[in-house]
Amino acid sequence: MIATGDKITDRALADVGGKALWTKELDRALLTGDIDCAVHSMKDVETLRPDELVIAAMLERADIHDRLVGAENIDALPESAIVGTASPRRKAQLLRQRPDLDIRLIRGNVQTRLQKIEVGEFQATLLAAAGLDRLEMHDVGTEIPDDIMLPAPAQGAVGIECLRDDTDVRRLLQAVSSQRTYIAVTAERSFLKELTGDCHSPIAASATVHSSEILLRAEILLPDGSENILDQTEFATGEVNAPAELARRMLGKASKDLRAIFGK
């Protein structure tokens, strides 16, 4: 199925409907019984979902990192280099480190974006390592360590959604679900939900599961990168309120302008 998000390639999705552009066709097909389950890139799924649906499984998580295409690292980018991205998070994180960069909107599939780099329309771009690896483009770009650019919540995770009442499908999907991924992504999405973040909001979050403990690292930023709040929390897997508490603590440290992005 071709989502509306795939059809709009000339505008930022945040300006024309946000993450729902990736899910609404699939949601409709699930609710009408045309399909039994829908496969999503979890970073493109809204935190508020229809009550009738449930994320029943998440596959083993892929690489969470971003890759820089066009330069060896961020410091190696030329002065005032034109960098393409459609992500407010990536834009803010780049400007936090390099305020001289000229960040412009780039849309389209991976091949289209790489072509724009090749012809010189942009000097660099950022792409998710998981997407490149799934296209068997393992050698494209340079990985950016997550202590330099923390990834988006749920980056690299694939989720499978079905009707909440469809117990047969839910049971089948459990066979392919990774509990570790499910726990980590749920924590990241809980943090995102508390912030009431949308496609305009520069938010990063990454959870790591060690036995029964979760380490959640997070960052919120002004769109121009001039302010950022980094924080983390460690908690037991059963402490479901901990991600929301981290979000509230970070907002408490933020300026009025940064809090306003999240309607606080």
Residues designated as active site: 44
DSSP per-residue codes, 139-196: TSSEEEPTTTSPPPTTTT-EEEEEETT-HHHHHHHHTT--HHHHHHHHHHHHHHHHHT
Rg of the chain's alpha carbons, rounded to an integer? 18
| Nearest-angstrom CA–CA distance, 5 and 45 | 12
Q: Which residue has the tokens 């993450």?
A: 19
Give the CA count within 13 Å in the CB-facing half-sphere of 44. 23
Spatial contact of 133 and 63, defined as CB atoms under 8 Å apart: yes
DSSP code string of 219-256: EEE-TTSS-EEEEEEEEETT-TTHHHHHHHHHHHHS-H
Contact between residue 181 and residue 187 where contact means Cβ atoms under 8 Å apart: no
Q: Which residues pair with 221 in a beta bridge?
A: 228
Instruction: Tell the burial category of 243 from Cβ atoms under 10 Å away from its Cβ (0-12, 13-18, 19+).
Output: buried
Helix (H, G, I), strand (E, B) or coil at 132: helix
